[in-house]
Amino acid sequence: MAYDLLIKDAQILDGTGAPACNGNVAVQDGKIVAVGEVAGTAKRTINADGLTLAPGFIDIHTHMDAQLLWDPLATSSCWHGITTLVLGNCSFAIAPCKPQDHDHILKTLVRVEGMSLDALQAGVDWAWETYPEYMDRLDRQLGMNVATFMGYSAIRLYAMGSDASERAATADEIQTMRAIIREGLDAGAYGFSFNFNPAHIAADGRQVPSGLASFDEVLAMAEVLKGSQAGLIQIIGNPNPPTPAPDNYDIIARTCERPVLWLGVLHSYSQPDLWRRNLSAAEAHVAAGSLARPLCTPRTIDVLFNLKNVHIFDGFPAWKDVLIKPPEDVIAALRSPSRRDDFRRDLQDPELRSPFSRRWDLMEVIETVHEHNRHLERRMISDIAAEQSRDPLDVFLDLCIDEQLDTEFLTVLANGDEDAAGEILKHPDTVVGLSDAGAHAALECGYGFSTHLLGYWVREKQLMSLPEAVRKLTSMLADQLGMDDRGRIQEGLVADLVLFDPDTINSLPPTVEHDLPAGAKRFIQKGTGISHTIVNGEILMENGEHVGSYPGRVLRRA
């Protein structure tokens, strides 16, 4: 018998964390049918010549909900060995959605997730109302596999209309939303997601709908998942303060009896010890049998922004009130000395939480509009301020005013402390992800988290072994999702595979393109060192090029 595909002479990492062994892998009808000393012929043979063959990587935290509609290849994830991505995180989704809410829901994505409204309006075809209809629309053409989380902000908006951003749900509304979730889970969604981050506000200045849910409401939804063999709940922010967030995640996990994946453990300059406290709490819960685990990321989270599109100050009330306005009103407000005093007071208030680090020595001027400001490019605001003997806040705001808010800045939001980032990453209880692919397309770029983990952290920094890193990118994530037919190289499992060179795999620096619908700008990030990405037994990418196939599909929870 001739196999469909035979990969010969590979260093096989099976995804369990076990060391590599040399051998062949045969694929037939989309499945792995033989591993090891495999004889026989095949319609297509790949001579691996000692390259490493691993299960395809899973990207468990993306916001590709809209992008996949116009970009079924999921660029730039396709260049990083990803064979399954998960969308619908942080409560954001575009289904279910009533026709009258189309604009409202797109605007929810614009501020927090930094998506272009022009691109969304041009690229989203609204060929659905319900969640199952959306899944069917996605399934028409896909390069890689897609698993979906239902987003609780979309569910709330669907069930409660504009009140979703105002109040907790009534008993009737809770029953309606439980039914919506049940319908999505029955159609194969892999769970649902919540958002309680107070800095996550929609274009209208109100917190996104998920954030208005009471803890009882959250637990009522969590119960819907109980009894399932697959699926999980993803959550960002604390659903029940002042009880510590990790304790609340544990309660949710005990209620649904499935994993809760929370966001997350990251180093942050504004709360430099928080990561250690959160990691200890997570460790204690896991040791006590909890299914709640924190998400982390191998990358630093940087953001490129101007004051027209920025969300990183939204946790500071005085800043938020101003920056939500149209540009001419923002400029007028920034000129006001009393407003600046309010801004300053927010920055000094240790109780306020916002992604901005409050560190002007980490705020770099990237691109100026005016010739007379060019000399400021590639310099930190703190240095410019010291040179001019002025307050950094004034330097920053005056530059923004002078350039009508179009000056581009770059700053690091999280994981700037490399020792902390490494300790988080190698901890056995942390789940690796958070590419945020599809979101913040013109602000930051995390597509390459998998290649960065293998190239930078494993090869250069030797933080963990290659088999362990591959386990964190494959079987560990499949186990969280309850996806028992993927994430390992084993006979009988689906042939999602990636063939790479551990000596050269890496992510490349991002480049700027204007290829979104309506010509909107975004970052593209390619990778090196991957020779083949195989999805459901078919080659998708070869040496960084798409071979023309679309073997992916929407994965349906059993």
Task: Return the residues of window 518-537 that contact Zn ion according to CB under 5 A.
Answer: none
Distance CA 193, CA 181 (A): 11
Positive or negative CA dihedral for 384, 390, 395, 398?
Answer: negative
Nearest distance from C-beta of residue 60 to Zn ion, angstroms = 11
**Residues paired with residue 62 on neighbouring β-strands, in sequence order:** 437
Residue 554 as a binder of Zn ion (CB under 5 A): the answer is no
Does 90 help bind Zn ion (rule: CB under 5 A)? yes
- Cβ proximity to Zn ion, 3 vs 262, nearer residue: 262
Stretch that binds Zn ion, among 86-94, 147-155, 295-303, 481-489 (CB under 5 A): 86-94
CB of 531 to Zn ion, least distance (A): 31
Residue 85 sits in the site that holds Zn ion (CB under 5 A) = no
Instruction: Assign 3-class secondary structure to 178-233.
Output: HHHHHHHHHHCCCEEEEEECCCCECCCCCECHHHHCCHHHHHHHHHHHCCCCCCEE
For residues 40 and 408, the answer to whether their CB atoms sit within 8 Å is: no
Give the helix, strand, coil percentages of the chain, each rounded to 5.
Answer: 35, 25, 40
Strand partners, 363: 411
Listed ranges 90-98, 193-201, 449-457, 533-541: which one lies at the site for Zn ion (CB under 5 A): 90-98
Q: What is the dihedral sign for C-alpha 250, 251, 255, 261?
A: negative
Minimum distance, C-beta of residue 132 to Zn ion, in the bound complex (Å)? 23
Determine the interface stretch with Zn ion among 89-97, 304-312, 532-540, 550-558 (rule: CB under 5 A).
Answer: 89-97
Establish if 443 lies at the interface with Zn ion (CB under 5 A).
Answer: no
Nearer to Zn ion, 93 or 463 (CB): 93
280: left (phi over 0), alpha (psi -120 to 50) or beta: alpha
* Reduced 3-state DSSP string for 413-454: EECCCHHHHHHHHHCCCCEECCCCECCCCCCCCCCCHHHHHH
Question: Nearest to residue 236, comparing CAs of 181, 178, 278, 271?
Answer: 278
CA distance 278 to 266: 9
CB of 248 to Zn ion, least distance (A): 18
Residue among 89, 153, 165, 234 that touches Zn ion (CB under 5 A): 89
Residue 154 CB, nearest approach to Zn ion (Å): 14
List the x/- string, 333-372, binding to Zn ion by CB under 5 A: ----------------------------------------
Task: Identify which range of 85-93, 288-296, 476-484, 546-554 contacts Zn ion by CB under 5 A.
Answer: 85-93
Query: Shortest distance, CB of residue 120 to Zn ion, whole angstroms?
Result: 16
Give SS3 for 317: helix
Distance CA 51, CA 347 (A): 51
CA distances from residue 433 to 62, 67, 85, 397, 403 in whole angstroms, order as listed:
9, 19, 10, 35, 37
Name the segment binding Zn ion (CB under 5 A); options: 33-41, 84-92, 335-343, 396-404. Answer: 84-92
Taking alpha carbons only, the member of 548, 486, 440 closest to residue 82 is 486
Query: Which amino acid, one-letter code, is at 172?
Result: D
Burial 443-453 (b: 16+ CB within 10 A, else e): bbbbbbbbbbb
| 254-274 per-residue burial string, b: 16 or more CB within 10 A, e: under 16 | bbbebbbbbbbbbbbbbeeee
Q: Give the residue with the Cβ less far from Zn ion, 432 or 534.
A: 432
How many other CB atoms are found less than 10 A from the CB of residue 36? 12
The DSSP letter of residue 455 is I
Least separation, in Å, of the C-beta of 90 and Zn ion?
Answer: 4
Decide whether 89 or 165 has the Cβ nearer to Zn ion. Answer: 89
With respect to Zn ion, which residue has the nearer C-beta, 452 or 532? 452
Is the Cβ–Cβ distance between 160 and 511 less than 8 Å?
no
Binding segment toward Zn ion, per CB under 5 A, in 15-23, 82-90, 350-358, 504-512:
82-90
Mask: binding to Zn ion, 478-517, rule CB under 5 A, as x and -?
----------------------------------------
Pick 90 or 405: Cβ nearer Zn ion: 90
Q: Which is nearer to Zn ion, 200 or 532 (CB)?
A: 200
Q: Give whichever of 188 and 433 is closer to Zn ion, judged by the CB atom.
A: 433
Applying CB under 5 A, the site for Zn ion has a residue count of: 2
Nearer to Zn ion, 90 or 530 (CB): 90
- Residue closer to Zn ion (CB basis): 87 or 476: 87
Nearer to Zn ion, 90 or 110 (CB): 90
Which spans of this chain sit near Zn ion (rule: CB under 5 A)?
A: 89-90
